Structure 1
Amino acid sequence: MTVAQARLAGKVAYITGAGSGIGRAAAQRFALEGARVVIAEFNEALGLSCADAIQATGGQAFYVNTDVTNEDSVRTSIMAATAHWGRLDVLYNNAGGSTSVDAQVTDCPVDEFWRAIRLDLFGTWVTCKYGIAALMRNGGGSVINSSSVFSLVGTRGKDAYTAAKGGISAITRSMAVEYAPHRIRVNALAPAVTMTERVKSLLQTQPDLLNKTCERQLLGLTEPEEVATMAVWLASDESKTVTGQVIAIDGGMSAS
């Protein structure tokens, strides 16, 4: 693929949680498509590894240590990103995740609720606070949030996670309305169970969970690269009239 053919040529993309899983797959794909990528990651070893891997294949990547649960860290990270590349065109709020501590609301520890809210919902909100301001200075751009299919369908045992992801779906729609006059599109991806290394390890130890998950995801489990493919489309000018959408990547779970 030449730069002239690349769908994201000339764009600067800021991706949180880009050191592993879906975020790493997206960072690598964005770089392949010609973007200059900011690896905004809390784990320094993972973040540097991702940046090094992209650079080793001829891509452009810059790592900045980022804790999305901390406002000062996010503000400093966005400033570092724009200082390094001179602009920001794409904001991909990928950082987040659930834990095995989550449960139905009557059993879920309060600390787990606030962990999910701080990481998933507040992390998205505060990154938008400073990231959208950077997009506005550049004349527009694309925001991609990470929701979940569990914000679209009922599920058991994840009431902290679903609360956070439901909030992300809601603010995605409101921000799409608010920032359309600034030529900023805001959409969210809503994957089902995605085969990251962490999920693979979990499913290997819980075969019953794997079987139940496969039953719900009619077309099979989602791969990180499949989510990254949709993120590229939302980041590109190909989706220039798409905003306020929560797009399920779920193998048919939300339709069944």
Structure 2
Amino acid sequence: MRLKGKVALITGAGAGIGKACAEVFCEEGASVIVAEYDAETGKAAEAALRERGFACTFVQTDVSDGDAVKAAVDAAVSIYGRLDIIYNNAGGSSLMDGKVHETPYEEFWKKVGTDLFGVWAGCHHAIPHLIAAGGGAIINATSVLAIMGTKGRDAYTAAKGGIISLTRSMAVEYAEHSIRVNAVAPGVTTTERVRKRLEESNPGPMSTAARSLLGTVQPREIAYAVLFLASDEAKKITGQTIVVDAGLTIS
């Protein structure tokens, strides 16, 4: 097992990529904190994993609230005795997003508060515990849209681009503590939310899905990339953004 004896915190782990990652981490021997805003999906994810005999605890967490993030990190250490891995996954785009000159202030700050600040807050509270554990792994969720440029998602891409820069600077900052910091940039991933948009023929996902050379990505396929970066197999990888996009960015 790649993560045997490790303790991991995953934000947004009640559904989609976060849920798939919680499953894979548990299967690989980790004890997992499901840090999820939605209580219903968070409890359901916890129950499903516990039913399979895994060590898993749901903590309701709004990543835009620094105190809530701290409570989730503290819960990990209190329940499982340490923290080795954090996957800052929570976030997402919104149909309210758009062009810079048309998007409301509120939408911009919402994306920054959830996507970018959520990552910063997770790292802010987790890093002292990773240092105490003798090192660890941080994986941050960004997006291919922050790399390739796109229309209609300017607030989202600004926040996700900030995550890439933050990942690089933290990789330099914390290497002396044996903490590796990387990011994963998913392409069009068939989470529940994206499937709904595809069914509704929303032009954003439809256009990018059509350019995914190997087809759309499954949440578990993203989880495998996160698992690799969390494991000792990636012990010499830091400051990188791993793109899992079925060829979208080269099409």
* TM-score, normalising length: structure 1: 0.95
Number of residues of Structure 1 aligned to a counterpart in Structure 2: 251
C-alpha distance in structure 1 between counterparts of 2:30 and 2:210, whole Å:
37
SS in 2 for 1:10: coil
Deviation at 1:15, TM superposition (A): 0.3
Quick one: which of 228, 232, 250 aligns to 1:233?
228
Aligned-residue RMSD, C-alpha:
1.1
Deviation at 1:64, TM superposition (A): 1.1
SS in 2 for 1:152: helix
Q: Is the 8 A contact 2:171 2:182 kept in 1?
A: yes
C-alpha distance in structure 2 between counterparts of 1:76 and 1:203, whole Å:
36
C-alpha distance in structure 1 between counterparts of 2:71 and 2:62, whole Å:
10
Residue 54 of structure 1 corresponds to: 49
Unaligned stretches of 5+ in structure 2?
A: none
Cα deviations by residue, 1:97-145 (Å, 9 ceiling, x for unpaired): 0110100111111110000000000000011000111101111000000
Q: Is the 8 A contact 2:188 2:209 kept in 1?
A: no
C-alpha distance in structure 1 between counterparts of 2:141 and 2:198, whole Å:
22
SS in 1 for 2:197: helix
Instruction: Tell me: CA distance 1:127–1:209, structure 2 relative to 1, closer, same or farther (3 Å).
Output: closer
Q: Is the 8 A contact 1:64 1:81 kept in 2?
A: no
- How many percent identity over aligned positions? 49
Instruction: Tell me: CA distance 1:209–1:78, structure 2 relative to 1, closer, same or farther (3 Å).
Output: closer
Deviation at 1:73, TM superposition (A): 1.0
Q: Is the 8 A contact 1:141 1:185 kept in 2?
A: yes
Q: Is the 8 A contact 2:194 2:205 kept in 1?
A: no
Cα deviations by residue, 1:152-191 (Å, 9 ceiling, x for unpaired): 1011000000000000000000000000000000000000
Unaligned stretches of 5+ in structure 1?
A: 1-5
Poorly superposed stretches of 4+, deviation over 3 Å? 207-211
- Aligned amino acid, residue 15 of structure 2: S
Deviation at 1:207, TM superposition (A): 6.4
1:105 equivalenced with 2:100 (yes/no):
yes
- Identify which range, 237-246 or 51-60, moves more after superposition: 51-60
SS in 1 for 2:8: strand
Instruction: Tell me: CA distance 1:80–1:154, structure 2 relative to 1, closer, same or farther (3 Å).
Output: same
Please list, as runs of the form range in 1=range in 2, the aligned pairs for 1:1-256 lying within 5 A after superposition. 6-206=1-201, 209=204, 211-256=206-251
